[in-house]
Amino acid sequence: MALWVFGYGSLLWNPGFEVAEAAQASLPDYHRSFCMRSIHHRGSEAEPGLVLALDEQPGALCEGLALRAVDGTEEATIAYLRERELVSSAYLEKMLHVDLQDGRRVEAVTYVIDAAHVQYCGGLPLEEQAAIISRAVGGRGPNTEYLYNTAAHLDELGIPDAELHWLRDRVRHLVDNDLA
């Protein structure tokens, strides 16, 4: 059985596993937002950054990519994703249905935020998000790099995300003017 993974953030530009097929897809009832404090990859415990997570929101629709792992690599892919995504247990691994742009519907491994977890920070004002992102650095690099790469790949795919693009522009302004 094919293993599909739904990518909405860094999986868009750095899946980390061999992809046999990538298709634009949408996930109903979830919203992509910077609602998770990052204490490992894009921030530290002393100065957390922010990373994207899927926050459950009835009526919302998150557009991203469905990525199909190469046949025969399913176990290795899941092991890799769990090591990468479940490092602090702030994400929950769920099998959710996503709708592919070509009309297919597939079940995909999807990492969504645990709203009860201490790293959850849904509802932060965008200006506060921008200030955090502009200065945080973690084990995988600056928080700005994460934001810029995600925005660039959404642009390449033609996927609009007004909130994320506002953050990109605001963070660039803060960094360029050392206002962080």
C-alpha 25/C-alpha 37 separation (Å) is 26
* Catalytic (active-site) positions: 85
Tell the burial category of 4 from Cβ atoms under 10 Å away from its Cβ (0-12, 13-18, 19+). Answer: buried
Bridge partner residues of 31 (DSSP):
55
Nearest-angstrom CA–CA distance, 31 and 35: 10
> How far is Cα 122 from Cα 119, in angstroms, rounded to an integer?
9
Strand partners, 119: none
- The residue with tokens 């899941």 is 78
88: closest CA among 49, 57, 56?
Answer: 49
Q: What is d(CA 110, CA 146) in angstroms, rounded to the nearest whole number?
A: 19
